[in-house]
């Protein structure tokens, strides 16, 4: 257990559905991140939040919408996704954005039909 939890662990959705991924960290960290991990490809940074403010949006399509209501919770709202969006979505947190170690959650395996 890394202190970062994600729900759901698995999600199957149609292209017209709306769903949300949830991440919660119990480490007292101030920075949280969303990554996308596709098979045989590098982890891709999607969003970075520091003290509940978005500091990075890495050219991610608007069908992905993040929300950070407080420093412990991070959401990724999904709307009208495409099959190529199927991937493992990982949440991570760190003490601050400049801190060395990022702690990852187990991920949500998303399949878009």
Which residues of the shown chain bind another protein in the complex (CB under 8 A)? 2, 4, 31, 33, 40-45, 48, 50, 55-56, 90, 94, 97-98, 100-107
* 15/55 with CB nearer another protein: 55
Q: Answer yes or no: are the C-beta atoms of 112 and 81 closer than 8 Å.
A: yes
**From the CB of 44, what's the least distance to another protein, in Å?**
8
Of the candidates 76, 80, 73, the residue with the CA atom closest to the CA atom of residue 65 = 76
Judged by beta carbon, residue 78 or residue 105, the one nearer another protein is: 105
Structure tokens at 36: 């996308």
- Assign 83 to helix, strand or coil: helix
Among positive and negative, which fits the CA dihedral 58, 49, 41, 23?
Answer: negative
Minimal distance, residue 61 CB to another protein, in Å = 19
Nearest-approach distance from CB 43 to another protein, in angstroms: 4
């Amino acid at each position: 257990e890394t202190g970062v939890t994600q729900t759901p662990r698995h999600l199957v959705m149609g292209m017209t559905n709306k769903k949300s991924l949830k991440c919660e960290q119990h480490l007292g960290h101030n920075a949280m991140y969303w990554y996308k991990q596709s098979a045989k490809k590098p982890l891709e940074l999607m969003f970075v939040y520091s003290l509940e403010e978005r500091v990075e949006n890495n050219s991610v399509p608007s069908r992905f919408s993040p929300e950070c209501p407080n420093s412990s919770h991070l959401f990724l709202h999904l709307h009208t996704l495409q099959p190529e969006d199927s991937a493992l979505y990982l949440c991570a947190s760190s003490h601050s954005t400049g801190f060395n170690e990022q702690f990852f959650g187990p991920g949500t395996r998303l399949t878009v039909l």
